[in-house]
Amino acid sequence: MLKPVGEAIRRWNMIREGDRVLLGLSGGKDSMALLLVLRHLHRASPVRFELGVANINPLTDSYDPEPLHEIVQSLGLPFHMAREDLLTRARKHIKNASYCSFCSRLKRGLLYQIARTQGYNVLALAHHQDDIAQSFLMSAFYNGKLWTMAPNYAVREGDLRVIRPMALVRERQNRAYVAEAGIPVIEENCPACLMEERKEGEVELRMPTTREHIKALLAREELEHPRLMDSLMTAMGPLLDREGAE
């Protein structure tokens, strides 16, 4: 894990001397893996930087962030939390659109707010290589644009950079890493993904399908073409190396 994360940080100049880095921590396998890696780098890297952690509590009955607070405290890192009823806001504002996308934007805005009020200049997110490849295909297939998540970019206001240190890490590596470390993770916790819609007394679970469809497509193709991800990373190279706001 340290090797691909270190390579990504160097390639895209993600963490610089004196940076104050805020990690967005949901408690899923990806953000927990990034927490462990960044904590190691915080202690061992010759590049000196500060590290803090932020969590967005969606105020659902199934989500308990207290174990995250305890883990972060045991690592000696600052822990910040914002509480927001994301599902209620999504139901109020979204009509026939993507709940996942709406909640993601809300959470990102709350993370920006924490970073700014607490004096951080870098926000670290745990999107991995699979996420980046999926976003590339989704944009090409459904929006007609060559676009994907950037590993390192500045927000339009210019006061924050957003980095994705796991841009060269596969999802399966994260899963194996947290399992080997024995660190607890919170399974799928996005309220939009676990949304309940009541119809005539019955509960219908609605799941966003587009990303899952692309994920399954890539998994099938990779069985036939083991170097598929390498090819996609080459194709996405100019997008990943671009500068400016995402």
Quote the pLDDT of residue 151: 97
Q: In one letter, which amino acid is 187?
A: E
59-70: b (≥16 Cβ within 10 Å) or e: eeeebebeebee
d(CA 169, CA 130) in angstroms, rounded, equals 8
Q: Which of 121, 88, 82 is nearest to 102 (CA)?
A: 88
Enumerate the domain spans of the chain: 2-240
Burial of 120 (0-12, 13-18, 19+ CB in 10 A): buried
Q: In the prediction, which pLDDT does 198 show?
A: 39
CATH assignment of 2-240?
3.40.50.620
pTM tops 0.85, yes or no: yes
Give residue for tokens 């396998």: 29
At 61 the pLDDT is 81
Give pLDDT, residue 31. 97
For the chain (246 residues), the mean pLDDT of every run of 10, in chain order, is: 96 98 97 98 97 93 89 96 83 66 86 98 98 97 96 95 98 96 80 47 53 94 97 97 73
Tell me the β-bridge partners of 122. Answer: 21, 161
Tens digits of per-residue pLDDT, 103-142? 788 899 999 999 999 999 999 999 999 999 999 999 999 9
